[in-house]
Amino acid sequence: MTNYDHEIPYKVLKQYWGYDEFLPWQKEAVECVMTCRDSVTVLPTGGGKSLCFQLPAMCLPGMALVVSPLISLMKDQVDSLKNAGVSAAFINSSMSAAEHYSCLSDIRQNKVKLLYIAPERLVMDSFIELLKTTKLSFIAIDEAHCISMWGHDFRPEYRQLKTLKNVFPDINIHSYTATATELVCQDICKELQLTAPLILTGSFDRPNLIYRIKHRDNVFNQICSVIANHKTESGIIYCIRRTDVDNLCLRLNQKGYNALPYHAGISDQDRKKNQEAFINDRVDVIVATVAFGMGINKSNVRYVIHAGMPKSLEHYQQETGRAGRDGLESECCLFFAYSDFMTWQKIIGDLDSEAGRIASKKLKEMYDFCINTSCRHQAIVSYFGQKLDTQNCGACDICIEEPDLMEDALVIAQKIISCIVRLKNSGREAMSASSFGSAYIGRVLTGSKDQRILQAGHDSLSTWGILASEGKQNIRIWIEQLVMQGYLKRDEEYKTISVSENGWRIIKDNEIPRLTKPLPIHQEQPKTQLTVARGATSSWEGVDNELFNALRVLRKNLAEKQNVPAYIVFSDASLKDMALRRPSNLNEFLHITGVGQKKWESYGDVFVKAIVDYCTTNSIEMDTMPAPIVVKQTKDSSLSAVKFHAFELFSQGCSVEEAAARVCRATSTVFGYLEEYIQQEKITHPAPWVDEKTFLMILEAMDQVGADRLRPIFDLLNGEIPYELIRISRACVQ
């Protein structure tokens, strides 16, 4: 299918997902599938990579095969697709024999458009034979970084997927991941044997996320200060060790928070139960190990806390990426210590193997990121080979001036650099190269009486003990910050530290570095004022918060009845748009972000009623941001058929009540149809739907207060004329 109607993806996007436009790079990724060209698509978590293969599956004949590594992720995506009206299924070990048989039957009868499968099952001979009898549209490899040794989550079973090109030479393969460097992308292409693939890489920046990184000090208080900013909101806390998870979870519950643990040490049944409680908003906080994948697609996670440092920037990007998937502002806090670096090195084990060297390099890059004093957003995208367009992201602790920078940084830097120069020139002993690493320099500066220092006579240097009151850990951090700012340089082979050309500018008072001030010991952390991130979907200006919370309760109740996560019914972004626009009828409700045809039919009446009841009770204006009327409809749409039937009835002079009865729709919905009909036909008088006297009263009110907003007209008429009649009359005037 090299040629296709470019309007089709847009129609499918609106019909099933309720969006009018694609996110960056989604359109290009969809076109790769539609034009049968192998591809690698890299989009950050929350960038909408799943839609890149889900949407074309609905456009192309046959069944799309999706490789996914986690059972929970399969179920989550299939539930979400079914809720949107898409025929999707999965096959995995969680199914009963009857469910498995039923699914195979549906596949043979061509009833499934998207089938999710684990990599191990896909390469089984019996399953390959089944697929050979099925019309496949394409194969999508999700979490494709798992195939690469250079990826952060390598899985040997993914390597078996290289046989797919041999088994299905005429089927295109498309791979998707949220975190992949250029090296990983090339490895994916090689291992999957892709044919002339197009590599699409979106921006790794998540502008709606606010990054905060602090030294760990009384971590429980630090964690509680973050949670206090997000009462009743969903959050994830990551720990390095299982014991840390259990202890933290216990303390949080004792303090009154509703938290559950999640790690490989608890039973599969309890782990599944805890995850489902979190996904379904029955618990606010999940505490998990960074070593165990969550496999969730929960869109309304408002904060992610790391109680310890992750082992790579890929992990950090992926784990923080679980916050704010709906595009709303969310907070990511990391509390770290140098001991985290040592802990991970022990866990990595053999640092001399290829895998060990790769892991050790990534760990060092992660630690450097933590102690860096430059923009967090810039550092992340730079790691993945990109550049941020702005100098100030406005959404990290560095750019919003939260870090405590030392006022006497120049003096501290001069003392450190002077010590390095004196050590080099001391000539007391032929020290081995490794002795002048940052650890040794730190011991000299703190006045250590280590045997090697005494033997070398370095205790007689003028810089010995000159920073004794600061502590070795702080000095180590400052040395690393000076290295990253280019004032010191490190020999990669021997790890020795020396002074760079720029470093001499500090000695001469020509430059002042940025060094962080150590936090006061055991001081309770103050609550931070939440920042509105520059890339959030929109601000909360104009959003009725009480209505938003009421709609959250309604969403939760509906989700519990259907036994699905609340965000599958509607995302927070959709509820926010409802609380902003406050649609009074189903026609306006259809313009809410994330409302496709299936959700419009399933939930429209109940949500519109809730909005109308709330606004009426509280005398709040509705339809505050009416969307442009779109008359063009697809002929094969059931929505169009109903609407055009209503249009025909209006042309015959039928009343709204009569038309509503004949098309089997709510009166409020048909009033929306009528408004659209009036605009399409350019009708200038509302008879027979509004009598002459009422119309003249509305015209007079419009003359006095204008026609831009309905509420002033409604109030001027003492609330005696319904909003629907005012809207119909205004449509004629406009």
Mean pLDDT of 364-379: 88
8-201 CATH: 3.40.50.300
Which one, of 480, 284, 265, 456, lies nearest residue 369 by Cα? 480
Which CATH architecture is the domain 538-620 placed in?
A: Orthogonal Bundle (1.10)
Instruction: State pLDDT tens for residues 154-202.
Output: 677 788 888 899 899 999 999 998 877 788 888 899 999 999 899 998 8
Band the pLDDT of 401: cuts 50, 70, 90.
Answer: low
Who wins on pLDDT, 353 or 241? 241
pLDDT for residue 146 is more than 90: no
Q: Return the percent helix, strand and coil in the chain, to nearest 5.
A: 50, 10, 40
209-383 CATH: 3.40.50.300
pLDDT for residue 720 is more than 90: no
Cα 432 from Cα 167, distance rounded (Å): 58
Q: Collapsing DSSP states into helix, strand and coil, what is residue 430?
A: coil
Band the pLDDT of 629: cuts 50, 70, 90.
Answer: very low
pLDDT of residue 638: 36
pLDDT of residue 272: 82
* In the chain, domain spans: 8-201, 209-383, 409-507, 538-620
Please provide the average confidence, as pLDDT, over all residues in the chain.
Answer: 84
Q: Collapsing DSSP states into helix, strand and coil, what is residue 139?
A: strand
Residue 655 burial (CB < 10 Å; 0-12/13-18/19+)? middle
Determine the longest span between alpha carbons in the chain, in angstroms: 106
Peptide bond into 688 cis (omega under 30): yes
Which CATH architecture is the domain 409-507 placed in?
A: Orthogonal Bundle (1.10)
Q: Indicate the pTM of the whole model.
A: 0.64
| Identity of residue 297 | N
pLDDT of residue 87: 93
Q: Give pairs for 625-629: CB < 8 Å, separation 24+.
A: 625/580, 625/581, 626/581, 626/588, 626/591, 627/581, 627/588, 627/591, 629/675, 629/676, 629/679, 629/680
Instruction: State pLDDT tens for residues 234-273.
Output: 999 999 999 999 999 999 999 999 999 998 889 888 988 8
Which one, of 491, 523, 509, 514, lies nearest residue 225 by Cα? 523
Q: Collapsing DSSP states into helix, strand and coil, what is residue 42?
A: strand
Q: Do the domains spanning 8-201 and 409-507 agree at the CATH topology level?
A: no
Cα 510 from Cα 414, distance rounded (Å): 11
Residue 262 host element (H or E): strand 259-262
pLDDT of residue 526: 44
Instruction: State pLDDT tens for residues 95-118.
Output: 888 888 899 999 999 999 999 998
Mean pLDDT of 5-33: 88
Cα 75 from Cα 358, distance rounded (Å): 33
pLDDT for residue 462 is more than 50: yes
Which one, of 299, 126, 102, 208, lies nearest residue 537 by Cα? 208
- In this structure, the dihedral spanned by the alpha carbons of residues 156, 162, 163 and 167, taken in order and rounded to 10 degrees, is 140
From start to end of 31-141, where are the E strands? 39-42, 63-67, 88-91, 114-117, 136-141
Cα 391 from Cα 22, distance rounded (Å): 27
Mean pLDDT of 517-523: 50
Residue 490 host element (H or E): strand 488-490
Percent of the chain with pLDDT over 70: 89
In this structure, what token pair is assigned to residue 612? 């109308």
Pairing outcome for strands 488-490 and 234-239: unpaired
pLDDT for residue 523 is more than 50: no
Count of residues in the chain: 734
Instruction: For tokens 């180590």, name the residue.
Output: 476
